[in-house]
Each structure stands twice: as structure tokens, then as C-alpha cells.
Amino acid sequence: MDPSRHLGTCYGASSFLRLGETQGFGRRSGRYVAHGQVKDVCARALHRRARELLAGTFDHPLLADPRSPAGVARIDCNTADLTSLIRRLETITDPRDRRGIRHGFATTLVLIACATLAGNKSLVAISEWCESSSQQVLSRLGARISLTSGLRIPPSYATIRRATMAVDADALDRIVNTWAGAQAAHGARVVGDGATGEADTTDPRSLGPGPDDAGNAPGADLVGVAIDGKAVRGARRGDGTQVQLLAALRHDTGMVIGQANVENDKTNEIVTFPGLIDQLDLTGRVVTADALHTQKNAATLVAGKGGHFVLGVKQNQLRHAFGSNVADAGGALDVIAELLGHRSVASSQVYLHPDPARLRRAVDAVGTPRASGSVER
């Protein structure tokens, strides 16, 4: 309420209480700008125990949401080992020019990581989170100390923007995912992702239903890992196309244990799949993926990493496999067309994929010109 225009009589008559006054800031273009117009802040209790409830301790709404599964991994940055995160981030090469550097690269990255874990998704929101952080938080995150005031100073919006544009995104992603898994393991032991070569020290049965809970059912100790590709909202490449990521997410904790950039359109998820699988430890895990990855190469890669797989199969894939098997068994095109209900024989040519054994027999059946003595010089 603007006290220069209103006395607040109606608010007082409606049981509103004056709590204080603002500092004269307004939000413009995603940032707070000082305009000097100080206003009174009034509030009215809508619950008879409002003061008692607000004065008490309570979890963050995201943590207290009854709809979230009980096994979802939760990381409390107030008690997390942020020093280990800083040490890991220090292994990333700083691509910035050495001249004029005020904020350490690892410090800037850890501030970005913590702000993102706190739910801030845009650069403006991340910058505002850093600016509003207390001296205690900035001290834990290693922010630099001002020589004039002696206070911790967070990096500016421009510094944060330059850091996010210059950092190796894949390296940052692997480090943060590995650290997050290790921190969640303190409260609910999460299997490490193996992305940075660190040893797995946790049990895959610790978060998922164990053998005792499922009556020693076969496979009860396995952990599911879902692999799927998604478009990153609000992110564009230099050519204007959307950023696509192929991510591996644990079923039990909801944590991303690895992800890889997909070049161009989604059809290249097949090409990105081997690189994503290569950085994961799939021992004791079951990989689930959509029908796009239902291929022999994908199944072989997962099995080679010690994992199991459940891949979706669509009707057209079954038809294609059946038609190819009939062709490999020597079935003619008219037979395939009749079995699959094709009106034209040309529609059945797509199933002609001779296996290597048939190709070898066809080559061996052809006599060489030298053997037949018909070579002309």
C-alpha cells in the first residue's frame, strides 16, 4: 500500500496488520530496480494458528510434497559436502583470459550448480540467488572477499553468463551428477554413476525394493535406469535448432546419472546412445528405452556393461522382423506380400535384408574367371 495515497483505513477495518515497509525496489525485465517508492506491507491471518505455523520449522514445499515418491533422492545443500564439489570443479580447465579475473572459475561454477539445485533455471534467477545469498553461504561456496569492505562478494550476472558459455558442459554435467549421487548416498545410499571413473561404493539394493521386501523374487534387487531424449526448453543452438539431450535417469531416486548432447534432430539419438552407455556402470541395473533403441547394437552395448534391458517393440517392428525372417528363409516376394497383406509386391521389397550367410553362399556360387579360363588380356 502506498502511504502517500492511502491511509489504510479499509485495511485496518478488515483486520489487516502493518508488518513494515518495502525498500523501494520494483521488478523490471526480470531484475529488481530501485525506484524509491516506499510502500507499507500489510497482512491478514487466514488461519487461527497462522502465526504459530509460520513461526515453526517446516520443509521446503518440494520436499514436503506428498505426491513425491518416498525414495526420491533429496539433497540438503545446508549439510552437503560442498568442499568436495569445489575440488571436483577445480579439475575443469578455466578457458577465460587470465587478465582481470576476480572470481575463481570453480567458485562461479559451484554457485551456478547450487542455484540450479535450488530451482533457479534462468541466468537472471541464478544471478539473483547469488546476490541474495548470505555471507555464510558465500563463505561455504568460496566467494572472494572484498578488500575494501571485507565481505564476501558473489559474481555478477555478466560473469555468470560468460562462465556458462565458456565451460565444458559435458564435464560440468558429469561432475555435478556424480557429486549429487554421492551426497544423496549419505542419507539413502545411491549407486554411483561411474561417469568420472570413481568406484561405486553403494549397494544398488539400498534404495530400491530389496529381496526381503519382495519375498526374494527374482530381479527384486535390480535398479531401473530409463534412457530417453528430451528437448531443452528455452535453449537454442547457433543454427537456431533446439538443444536435444539423451539422459539416463534412475527409476527409484529420480536422479539423472548421465546425459549426452544429441546433435541436430532426434533421429541421432541412436548415434548418441553408445556414448551415453559407455560412461555408465550398469552392473545390477535394468535399462529401459523406447522402441527407437530396440536394436541389436543397443542390446549388445548394455549387456557388455553388465546390465539388463527392457526395450519397447512396436507393431511395425514385429512385422518388419517377420518379413525379414521369411525373406532370409527363402520366401519369395509374392509370399511375403500375401502373408503381410500387401497389395503390391513392391511394398515387400523393404524386407529383403539378406543375412551374411546367404551373401557368402551367393558369392561362393559364382565361379572366378581365372578358374573358367575365360580371362581376356
Interatomic CA distance for residues 43 and 355, integer angstroms = 77
For 329-369, write each residue's pLDDT tens digit: 777 777 777 777 777 777 766 666 666 776 787 788 877 66
Q: In terms of domains, do 149 and 282 share one? A: no
Q: Which of 173, 185, 201, 26 is nearest to 88 (CA)?
A: 173
What are the DSSP calls for 122-155, one per residue? Answer: SHHHHHHHHHH--HHHHHHTTPEEPTTT--EEPP
Domains held by the chain: number: 4
Q: In terms of domains, do 186 and 304 share one? A: yes
Q: In terms of domains, do 53 and 125 share one? A: no
What are the DSSP calls for 290-327, one per residue? Answer: -GGG-SHHHHHHHHHTT-EEEE---HHHHHHHHHHHHH
Q: In terms of domains, do 305 and 189 share one? A: yes
Residue in the block written with cell 529488481: 32
Q: In terms of domains, do 277 and 195 share one? A: yes
So what's the pLDDT on residue 41? 92
So what's the pLDDT on residue 200? 43
Average pLDDT, stretch 268-288? 86
Whether residue 41 is contained in a domain is answered as yes
Whether residue 149 is contained in a domain is answered as yes
Average pLDDT, stretch 314-318? 71
So what's the pLDDT on residue 39? 92
Amino acid, single-letter form, for residue 312: G
Q: In this model, does residue 160 exceed pLDDT 90?
A: yes
Q: In terms of domains, do 185 and 196 share one? A: yes
Q: In terms of domains, do 176 and 136 share one? A: no
What average pLDDT does the chain have? 78
Q: Is 243 helix (H, G, I), strand (E, B) or coil?
A: strand
β-bridge pairing 308-311 and 285-289: parallel
Contact predicate 259/276, CB 8 Å: yes
Q: Is 18 helix (H, G, I), strand (E, B) or coil?
A: strand
Q: Containing domain of residue 33, as a range?
A: 9-58
Q: In terms of domains, do 309 and 320 share one? A: no
For 216-246, write each residue's pLDDT tens digit: 666 677 888 999 888 887 777 777 788 888 8
So what's the pLDDT on residue 185? 59
Return the minimum-mean-pLDDT range out of 35-44, 59-68, 269-278, 306-315: 59-68
Contact predicate 289/277, CB 8 Å: no
Q: Which of 358, 79, 122 is nearest to 233 (CA)?
A: 122
So what's the pLDDT on residue 354? 63
Q: Which of 310, 227, 204 is nearest to 275 (CA)?
A: 227
How far is C-alpha 273 from the geometric centre of its chain's CA atoms? 15
Q: In terms of domains, do 309 and 178 share one? A: yes
Whether residue 343 is contained in a domain is answered as yes
Q: In terms of domains, do 178 and 100 share one? A: no
Residues contacting residue 367 through CB under 8 Å, at least 6 positions apart: none
Interatomic CA distance for residues 278 and 275, integer angstroms = 5
**Percentage of the chain modeled with pLDDT above 90:** 11
What's the pTM?
0.57
More confident residue, 199 or 1: 1
Q: In terms of domains, do 186 and 113 share one? A: no
Return the minimum-mean-pLDDT range out of 1-15, 59-73, 190-204: 190-204
Q: In terms of domains, do 230 and 306 share one? A: yes
Whether residue 233 is contained in a domain is answered as yes
